[in-house]
Amino acid sequence: MNAINFADTGLYTVGDAASLTGVSRPRVRGWLNGYPRKDGSRSEKRLTGQLSPIDGHFALGFLDLMEVHFISHFLKRGVKWRTLSIAAKYARELFDVEHPFATKFISDGSDIYEEKTHAILKKTAEETQDPSLRSLVTDQFAMYEMLRPLLIDGISFDDTGYAKNWRPFKELSHVILDPHRSFGRPILKQCSIPTRTLYQAFRAEQDLEIVAEMYEVGAEEVTQAVDFEMRLAG
């Protein structure tokens, strides 16, 4: 097995993924490892998974995180797992990618991706007869066009078509996740200081201006970092 470069892949615990995407820990874990059956076997994994378990604990890479984000939105709208699996299969074949739900397959309406994505989802809907997906691919992609902004809001893509960074909350523009920086942890976009570091400093000092001065950043950046961490904590 080739060594994983966490500095480029990103590293998230199941708890991290749950907090960032709103998907429960048991579901994230089940998607990564399959669900136990009564006969002692496990169901098929729902995610390809970028990382092997670390010290017995499951972990996700940045692309896994993006796929959880995508899948969650479709499941909430009634699309079935079998439907998503077939769509992923077609997308892997057509785009030659390992993580189709973390690529422009889900987003780009300005070039050939739109035509191919429409074809994949239409073919999947016809094969599965899944009414929820069929409603997304009728009327010239109208329903999917309504859903797409929720999927891609805050996500930037690289030249290969893969997601390269993510801003989880649109209004917190200073906070970003980038797998090439700080192992993908939430950071300030301009200086890469982890939001957790600023939050802990604020808890100790109870003064935004003091923390801003300590780390030589703006008070608004500290405010957003603290807000971000408080949202994750629920």
Q: Which long-range contacts (CB under 8 A, 24 or more apart) does 137-144 make?
A: 141/114, 144/117, 144/118
Is the model's pLDDT at 212 over the cut of 70? Answer: yes
Q: Is residue 171 domain-resident?
A: no
Quick one: average pLDDT of 57-75? 90
Give 115's pLDDT tier (boundaries 50, 70, 90): low
- Predicted confidence band of residue 220 (pLDDT cuts 50, 70, 90): very high
Residue 50 DSSP label: S
Q: Is residue 103 part of a domain?
A: yes
Which residues touch 11 (CB under 8 Å, ≥6 apart)?
Answer: 51, 59, 60, 61, 183, 184
Mean pLDDT score of the chain, rounded to an integer? Answer: 82
Name the nearest CA neighbour of 45 among 66, 28, 25.
Answer: 28
pLDDT of residue 146: 54
Cα distances (Å, whole numbers) of residue 32 to 10, 21, 69, 103, 208? 16, 15, 14, 19, 39
Asked if the structure places residue 74 within a domain, the reply is yes
Residues 195, 147 share a domain: no
Say if CB 222 and CB 202 are below 8 A apart.
Answer: yes
More confident residue, 179 or 146: 179
Instruction: Note whether residue 86 is domain-resident.
Output: yes
Taking only the tens place, the pLDDT of each residue in 160-193 is 878 999 999 989 999 999 999 999 999 999 999 9
* Shared-domain flag, residues 118 and 18: yes
Domains: count for the chain: 2
From residue 150, give the alpha-carbon distance in Å to each of 56, 73, 83, 158: 34, 8, 20, 19
What pLDDT does residue 215 have?
97
| 222 shares its domain with 147 | no
71 lies in which domain range? 6-166
